[in-house]
Amino acid sequence: MRSYSIREVRILSILILLLCCSFATAQAPAPGYVVVVPVANMYRGPSVDTDVVSQAIYASNLVVIEDKGDWINIKTADDYPGWVRAQDVKKLSGAAYGTSGTTVTVSALSANIYREQDVTKHAPIVTVPFDTRLIADIPADPKARWIKVTLPDGRDGYLQSGEVMQATKKLSIPETIDLARKFLGVTYTWGGTSSYGYDCSGFMQMLMKQRGYLMPRDANIQASWTGVAPVERKDLQPGDLLYFGSSPQRITHTGMYIGDGKFINDTTHTRPAVQIDDINDPYWTKLLVAQRRVK
């Protein structure tokens, strides 16, 4: 066996040390961010002149891909990438927001958060959309009107207890359809993922989340998702997902079947809003190319 000189051993040790340091740096996760505006648009590129691909709602934790100063390339919890403005997010120095302590989730279409327990003295600090999750100090009295919350930027605020729920449960299909109806009339927004405006697939993704499923963001990917199985049109049941387009390979729209030939969807057809339509309408019949049921 060959013996190495002291010089060779030192050089080898330095190379190993440098390699280990490089590996550790490459593996170290980038600091996370949290959304500090009601809804943060996610753009295709680091410019407001590019199209909006999705959104991240208030208090959402984001994984950083690249930080360019004024723009941050991120991924949301569903692994969806996009660029957000740095002013819309806050860099975290420690654990992700809401990962420790008690949290509540906004169950109203929106909720005002105030600096004190009064709705008249000051304007809300912020108005947050449905499904926003906040760190909360739950009062001992279950009938208390106000709940204190700690916001992602460190400020304290108060919202009314009737607008949030503490324990979240998976909704049944009838409960999910009832929830969907609460959004009737909410405007259609391209790339939208909040109660301030959904797009078709954002609306379906939100509803499926309430049933306990993290479904992909885009309609065409949802239709091929491993969590769903094909179903024949004649066998449709409430809660099944419908996919529309020029062909099964070119899906551009989605909705949820609610029974009796009806489905709920967020569409720009006739008017830009969440609405209930009939799959037997010639407009929709010719576009219906796939039906899916969650496994």
Per-residue model confidence as pLDDT tens digits over 53-66: 999 999 999 999 99
Measured between alpha carbons, how far apart are the two ends of the chain, in Å?
Answer: 61
Instruction: Report the run of H or E that residue 293 belongs to, with start and end.
Output: strand 288-294
Mean pLDDT of 90-95: 90
Q: Compute the Cα dihedral for 129, 208, 79, 50 and give only its sign.
A: negative
Query: Which residue intervals of the chain bear CATH 2.30.30.40?
Result: 33-91, 103-165
pLDDT band, residue 5 (cuts 50/70/90): low
Cβ count within 10 A of residue 193 = 27
User: What's residue 168's pLDDT?
Assistant: 78
Distance CA 282, CA 266 (A): 18
Pick the CATH number of 103-165 from 1.10.630.10, 3.10.50.30, 2.30.30.40, 3.90.550.10: 2.30.30.40
Distance CA 274, CA 276 (A): 7
Q: Are 257 and 269 in contact (CB under 8 A)?
A: no
Query: Is residue 9 predicted with pLDDT exceeding 80?
Result: no
**Model confidence pTM above 0.75:** yes
CATH 3.90.1720.10 in the chain, residue ranges: 173-294
pLDDT value at 288 more than 50: yes
* Nearest Cα to Cα of residue 122 among 113, 131, 134, 133: 113
Q: Note the pLDDT tens digit of each residue in 16-39.
A: 444 444 433 333 345 589 999 999
Inform me whether the pLDDT recorded for 48 exceeds 60: yes
Q: Which residues of 76-110 are buried (b: 16+ CB within 10 A; e: fewer)?
A: beeebebbbbeebbbebeeeebbeeeebbbbbbeb
Cβ contacts of 211 within 8 Å, gap of 6 or more: 170, 171, 172, 173, 176, 294
Compute how many other C-beta atoms are within 10 angstroms of the C-beta atom of residue 56. 27
Q: How far apart are CA 223 and CA 254, in angstroms?
A: 9
Summarize pLDDT for 161-175 with one digit per residue, the tens: 999 999 778 999 999
The CATH homologous superfamily to which domain 33-91 belongs is SH3 Domains (2.30.30.40)
Residue-wise pLDDT tens digits, 151-210:
999 999 999 999 999 977 899 999 999 999 999 999 999 999 999 999 999 999 999 999
173-294 carries CATH number 3.90.1720.10: yes
Contact indicator for 187, 169 with CB cutoff of 8 Å = no
pLDDT, averaged across the chain: 91
